[in-house]
Amino acid sequence: MDVKAVTELIENYVRPATFPVGIKMLKPGEALPPKTRTPADMGSRFATCQTINVVRRYGWSIGLSADHHSCPLGLVALGFKPNVEYLQEGHACEGMYTATLEAGVRTEAEVPKFALGQYAQLFVSPLKTHPFEEPDVIAVFGNSAQVMRLVQAALFKRGGYLNSSFSGRLDCADIVVKTMKTDECQVILPCTGDRMFGQTQDEEMAFSMPASKVEEVMTGLEATHKNGIRYPVTTFMNYTAKFPAKYEAVWEMWGEKKPGAK
C-alpha cells in the first residue's frame, strides 16, 4: 500500500479537517517504530479513543500498551486485560447505559473483542507517514457528508448497502476490533467516551476500512468523483430567485416584467 497516495486521494476527494490515521496492532515481541511517543512521555495514560484523536489532530505517532492505557473497557476490547465477570454480568452498563443487568449483559456480549494476549500494543500514526508496510485499519473522521462519500466509494464496485452497528458506547472497539475481525468497512458513531476524552465534536463521525478494502474504496472514491458525486456536495443553482415584493416593484418602474413572469 502506498500510504502517501492513499492519503492524497482521501484529502483530495473527502477533504477531512484532521489527518487520516493508520492503525496497527502489534503482537507480543513486536517493537514500536523509532520516534514513537507514548502517553508516558507526556506524563499521562490514554484511552484508545484519546490516542486516535491526538494522532489525527497533532500528527504524532503514538504507541499504546496496557501499561499506558487508562480505560478498563478499552483494555478488555483490545485483549490487553481479561474480561472479568463484573463486566460480563452487565454491571458497567446497568444504571448508566441499560435499565437492567440483563440488558447490560447483552450489550457487553456484543462488544467486539480481541482474544486476551493476541496483541500487546496499539500503534497509531498519521496515514501519510505510517511506517509499516500497511496499516491494519485506516480511520477517517469527518462530517456526515464526508463519511457518506466514503460509504459511496466502498459500494461503487459491489453495490448494495454497507452494514454497521451502533451502541453509542466503546466506539474504539468498532474502529479497531470490529473492522479487523469482520474485514469490512465500518461507519463509526462516536461514543460518549470518545466525545468526552477524545474530544470528538458533535458534527463528527468516522469511517474505518481494513487494509484489504483500501484499494477498492480508493477506486470507488475516484470513480464516483468523476461521475459527479463529490464533496463538498454540488448544489443545484440553475434557477430564477424570488425577491421581496418591494424589490420586485422596481421592475414595473423600469417598464419591464419581472424575471419569470408570463
pLDDT of 119: 98
Residue 148's CB: how many other CB atoms inside 10 A? 18
pTM of the predicted model as reported, rounded to 2 decimal places: 0.94
Q: How confident is the model at residue 56 (pLDDT cuts 50, 70, 90)?
A: very high
Q: Give the pLDDT confidence of 139-161 residue by residue, as tens digits.
A: 999 999 999 999 999 999 999 99
Q: Give the pLDDT confidence of 244-261 residue by residue, as tens digits.
A: 999 999 999 999 999 988
